[in-house]
Amino acid sequence: MRERGCDSNVRINSIKPKNPEMDLSLAIYVLAFFPTIFALDNGLMKTPPMGWLAWERFRCDIDCRHDPKNCISERLFMDMADRLAEDGWRELGYIYINIDDCWSSMERDKEGRLQPDPQRFPGGIPKLARYIHDRGLKLGIYGDLGTHTCGGYPGTTLDKIHTDAQTFAGWGVDMLKLDGCYSNSTEQEQGYPLMSKALNATGHPIAYSCSWPAYQGGLPPNVNYTQLGEICNLWRNYDDIEDSWDSVLSIVDWFSDNQDLLQPAAGPGHWNDPDMLIIGDFGLSLEQSRSQMALWAIMAAPLFMSNDLRTLSNNARAILQNKVLIGINQDPMGVQGRRLLKEKTHIEVFWRPLSDSASTLVFFSRRSDMPYRYRSSLGKLGYKAGNYKVYDVFTGQTMPALTDTTNFTVSINPSGVVMWLLSPTKLWGREGEHPSLLHNHVEEIVHPILL
């Protein structure tokens, strides 16, 4: 969803939770066993997809004469594919290289098919797809259900849906992101389901990202999330992310304020998409970068980085390549987490249930003054009676074991997070137990791709 150049000026208003005083134990029970909606049956994206996406960092830079390293061209995507393949990203699950807007020629070819800009993609998309596939990666591409893309390039009108689906399949594309600029609600209601059918009819597996809900306000009754789960693998609900902390906060607020409506829509094969990770760009501090990564993991969000992998700092790389955090995001149960508490002290607590009775907690500070010492207990956060192993995701430290009644204090930096991975155990309290047992458990619950 692009504000620039788009005739849809949707402003999505957030709502307050219906009952902020709800019993947390009941909330945890309901979320852990909430029945999910029927998912698109193409067998794809059973865990949130991961990879790299061009838009936020490189936008619509088409000036290859003066900025050849950064313009939207086959060189840029080959460079990023090399980095994913050679710098340890692919093995962690970052497998998609996604083209966004401004890749195409301004005209369709004589047969009415989309075609890439010949100067910027001289080898064509099939050559780029082979290059990416040869490195064990997948290629995503951008389209727009309308007369034009948001950047003014040829869009996909209703009569071109079948043609474009066949074209993408023939090129070897593995994912389509379909935007909605220059289309109306009636065209979207017809076009998004039609494209899903057309993609499936090609016989080539193509994951499908829909921007449809973002153009309809993001919430029921205007958005039918049951239908979306039947036709799309993921969808944009809200505004485009910008390279700023304010933008990240606005997204977190909207998803948290509307979590009762959005959470049931997510699950294996069908995901809410709060947009790209901007870690490693210019707008976030180190603490804020950790916060975005932690909160996106809580939301079971797709992890599409939009940064320059060629110049990424070691600090940004360490956050984005945190194996335990990725394992939490990729948990096969696929339950989207939620905000449990929003304290008057400007501390917020988020929680997500994981497989094998594990869970994760994020203590998030919206303060801007100094580190804040937050005091609580697991029982106050809705955990049932028992002993719990605790692992600090960012420090990599095994924490002292907690019972549900143990009072604890965490020090949270301004705009930062403390993130815990917890697992219940009856053995943890035994005298002399070796602390490596927790590390073994960490390895057990992370996604198999990391083992």
Q: Catalytic positions, please?
A: 179, 240
Alpha helices, DSSP H only, in 321-447? 323-329, 436-445
Residue 81, phi then psi, degrees to nearest 5: -65, -40
Sign of the dihedral through C-alpha 27, 29, 32, 38: negative
Contact residues for 189 (Cβ-Cβ < 8 A; gap 6+)? none
3 state SS of 243: coil
Number of other CB atoms surrounding residue 299 within 10 Å: 28
Q: What is the 3-state secondary structure (H, E, C) of 123-148?
A: CHHHHHHHHHHCCCCEEEEEEECCCE
CA-based nearest residue to 337, from 322, 358, 321 = 358
User: Which contacts (CB < 8 Å, 24+ apart) does range 226-231 have?
Assistant: 226/37, 226/38, 227/193, 228/265, 228/270, 229/36, 229/37, 229/38, 229/39, 229/40, 229/265, 229/267, 229/269, 229/270, 230/37, 230/38, 230/39, 230/40, 231/40, 231/192, 231/193, 231/196
Cα dihedral: 236, 242, 6, 184 (round 10): 20
**Cβ–Cβ < 8 Å for 291, 364:** yes
